[in-house]
Structures are given as C-alpha cells and as structure tokens.
Amino acid sequence: MTDLTDLTAVQLLDGYRTGEFGPVEVTRATLARAESIQPEVNAFVRLTGEDALARAAESEERWRRGEPAGRLDGVPVTVKDLLLMRGHPTLRGSLAVDPAGGRWDEDAPSVARLREHGAVFLGKTTTPEYGWKGVTDSPLSGVTRNPHDHARTVGGSSGGAAAAVALGAGPLALGTDGGGSVRIPASFCGIFGLKPTYGRVPLYPASAFGTLAHVGPMARDAADAALMLDVIGAPDARDWSALGPAAGSYSAALGAGVRGLRVAYSASLGGQVAVAPGVAARVRRGVERLASLGAHVVEADPDFTDPVGAFHVLWFSGAARVVSHLRSGQRELLDAGLREVVGAGARYSALEYLAAVDVRMELGRRMGRFHEAYDLLVTPTLPITAFEAGRETPVGSGQRRWTGWTPFTYPFNLTQQPAATVPVGTDGDGLPVGLQIVAARHRDDLVLRAAHALYESAR
C-alpha cells in the first residue's frame, strides 16, 4: 500500500483528481508523520493541526465538486518561522519576540499565494534566531537535527523546512535564503531547494538583510518546486522590489531538458575551495550525467575571488539592523554568536557599507559576462557533508563563522542569481551530497530544467 507521506505534490494532486484518496486522509497522515519526527529531529516550532484539518476538509469538498480552488488545493505545506502566517505568531527563533505582539493577522506574500491556491498549512518550521547562520539552533527552539544522522546538523537557516520535507512531513516547504539558507539544509538533507532570482518571489515585511534575502521552494524534486514557484512567484503590491509576472509557467518548461545547453563545471572555484573527496566524486558524476543528456559541458571557473569580506559587511550590518529595536535586557536573550555579529555590524561605517556594495556590483558584472558564454554554472553546493549538530562550524576546521564552509552559496546571493541544489547521492558516511546549478538572473527556468533532467535520469 502506498504511504501517502512519501508522495510528491504532483502525485497527491493526481490522486485527488482520480479520487484515489483525499486531502483529509493525506493531511491526517502528514500530521501524524510530523508529530512522530518532532521529538528526535525538532523540525517544528508549532504544528497547526486543527487549522490544517479544517482547510483539508474544505479542500476535499471542492475536489468532490470538481472545483479545486487552485494549483495546490489540498497539498500540505510548511512555512519557515521567519514568514508571517495569519493566525499564528512568527517568533523568528528568538526569545526576544513577544508571541502576544506583532502582526499575526497578515500573511507574507508567498503564504498568501499558497492560501489562495488551497494549500494546507501544517505548521511553522524552525530557524536559527532571525535566520542569521547556516545551521539551525536557537535559544527559542533548541537544536534541529539531520534526518540521516541525528548527531549531525541539518544545516540552515531553513533547517526545519528541509528536515520536514526529507521525512515526509509535507512535500512542500517555504524557506528563505540570504546566503545559502535554502540550499545548505536542502543539500545536507538530500532534497531539492531553489533560491529564485531576487524579486521573483515577493517578500514582506522587507528583510533587514535587504536584497540578499530571497524566498524559495523546498521540495522532493524539481517538478514540485516548479509548481510551487508558479504559485508563489505572482506579484504582490507590498514588495516594491518584486518582479512582474513570469513570462510563462515553470512547470510547463521542465520537459525541454538540457540538450544543447552550455554548462561550465567549476569543481573548486578555480582552486579557491578545498572540497571533500566524497563530495567531489558525487558532484562529478552528476556533471557527467548532464553531459550524457546532451549538455555541452566544459570545465571553467567564474572570474571572481571569494567575496566573503563584502558579504560579511552587508550581512552583519543587516543583523545589527534586525535587532536594533530591542532593549538591552532583550539583547541579553540573543544567541551569543548573533550578539557578536551584531556588534561587528554596528561598527561598520556607511562608506564601508557602500564599498561592499561596489564589490557586489562588480561581482554581478563578472557573472553577467560569464553567462554570455555559459547557460549554466555547476558547482558543489557545499564542500562538505553535515557535521556535528549544535555547532556553527565543524570541529577542528579553524573557521570562525558559518561562511567559512559555505563558499559556493553566498556569492550568488550577492549577484541575485537563481541557484538550486540537487541531491546526487551520498558520501562514504551515507550523508547526502548536493550539486548546485546557477543561471543568469531571470533564467530560473534553465535551473529547473537542468535539475528536472537530473531527477528524471535517476528514476
């Protein structure tokens, strides 16, 4: 018998159409899975079971009448606890946020679009405090753990979202990505995660991290993510920086494949990154699969050096801004690492900030020229697999901050390009490895096409 929690969103919708099963049955099974994984993995800040079952019942009646409300009617979805969801507090992983305060009567744009299309909200997923780092632990909700090894980190900052999808607690999740926060946990958990072109998915309230911050889908495969992006990528007047409507359906474009696409494979960004052998081998096999599917693959490195200094100026300044409203007593409740970053961010001058913006603009120019020659850039998503849970950096790495082990992700937040991670197997310890696919701005369709081709070739 099919386990309903193992099905993709596309498969669930097919089942609803045929009447093989309904949204209420699926939602009950998914909530039961979420409850069963919570004690050991800690993926959720809260489950919203009563609301979910009520929405599922409404969806089931619409399907019975043959009148689904939208493209995701009855599909279970989770929401990262940085995004507003009407009727429930958004605590952002922080003891300093008052559950009784805030705008809990409003949806973020991506949540609003999902609601309009009939999605069933299972609950809010865990995040580090204000999403500030690439692992998921916080003073509010503790440590979120990797589904493949509970002693290891899930990654972050959309860690709860990744764990939920990986373990069947909803086929779709909303995540955010300011420096890799969708791609990092998706890679560590062996699922698909997409950071769309900046502005493709509207964001409100505006992030204190500015135009580094993207909202993106996390799913079991690229087809589900494309379907979700078709829904959440609609414009919203509350985000002045949002893009206009997409030129077409991302789902409809998936079947075009990769034949003829020009793919640059950069194994280490020109020798700048030391990549674990097990990761390097798996990513190379993924690249070879793209070539076997008809892509023109060459080894080529993008023309830039590590922009981590500029990223830190922008990121740490954003962290200082995000907690600027807190009183001194509230600041004592913050994650110790976040307090350090906030202190650094508060010391930067306006001129230093603008100098970092200059670095960002030059990086964008270089990548724009790079994509005149190549449709796609492929790299490892991360140079390592998941390490010990509860730490910002691996033991013995000598690294101070999470950016030390994420050199493939944050550059493409600076450039606002679409970037996705696709699982390409496991290393010698059985831990998932991710392959990153990057395209020029506004070419999310190419990223999704290539990812879908990899999934289809592996079935």
Catalytic (active site) residue 80: yes
Place of tokens 């950071």: 195
- Residue whose C-alpha is closest to residue 315's, from 442, 212, 396: 212
Active-site entry in 94, 138, 158, 181: 181
User: For residues 385 and 393, what is the distance between their CA atoms, to the nearest angstrom?
Assistant: 12
Query: What are the per-10-residue average pLDDT scores of the chain (459 residues)?
Result: 92 98 98 98 98 98 97 98 97 94 90 98 98 98 98 98 98 98 99 98 97 98 98 97 96 97 98 98 98 98 98 98 94 97 98 98 98 98 98 97 98 98 98 98 98 95
What was the pLDDT predicted at 102? Answer: 76
User: For residues 351 and 339, what is the distance between their CA atoms, to the nearest angstrom?
Assistant: 23
Hey, do 4-254 and 256-458 end up sharing a CATH topology, with the first three levels equal? Answer: yes
What was the pLDDT predicted at 103? Answer: 75
Cβ count near 305 (within 10 Å): 11
Cβ proximity of 146 and 187 under 8 Å: no
Pick the CATH number of 4-254 from 3.90.1300.10, 3.40.190.10, 3.40.50.1220, 2.60.40.10: 3.90.1300.10
* Count of residues in the chain: 459
- Residue whose C-alpha is closest to residue 179's, from 355, 437, 402: 402
Q: How far is CA 300 from CA 84, 208, 285, in A?
A: 41, 35, 17
User: For residues 289 and 295, what is the distance between their CA atoms, to the nearest angstrom?
Assistant: 9
Beta pairing, strands 296-299 & 262-265: parallel
- Residue whose C-alpha is closest to residue 402's, from 94, 157, 143: 157
User: For residues 348 and 454, what is the distance between their CA atoms, to the nearest angstrom?
Assistant: 43
Radius of gyration of the chain (CA): 20
User: For residues 194 and 9, what is the distance between their CA atoms, to the nearest angstrom?
Assistant: 16
Q: Which two tokens stand for residue 62?
A: 């619409």
Q: Which two tokens stand for residue 175?
A: 């995540």
Cβ proximity of 192 and 186 under 8 Å: yes
What was the pLDDT predicted at 376? Answer: 99
Active-site entry in 94, 110, 138, 157: 157
Cβ proximity of 186 and 218 under 8 Å: yes
What was the pLDDT predicted at 1? Answer: 60
What was the pLDDT predicted at 426? Answer: 98
CATH C-level class of 256-458: alpha beta
What was the pLDDT predicted at 100? Answer: 87
Return the domain boundaries, the chain: 4-254, 256-458
User: For residues 315 and 319, what is the distance between their CA atoms, to the nearest angstrom?
Assistant: 6
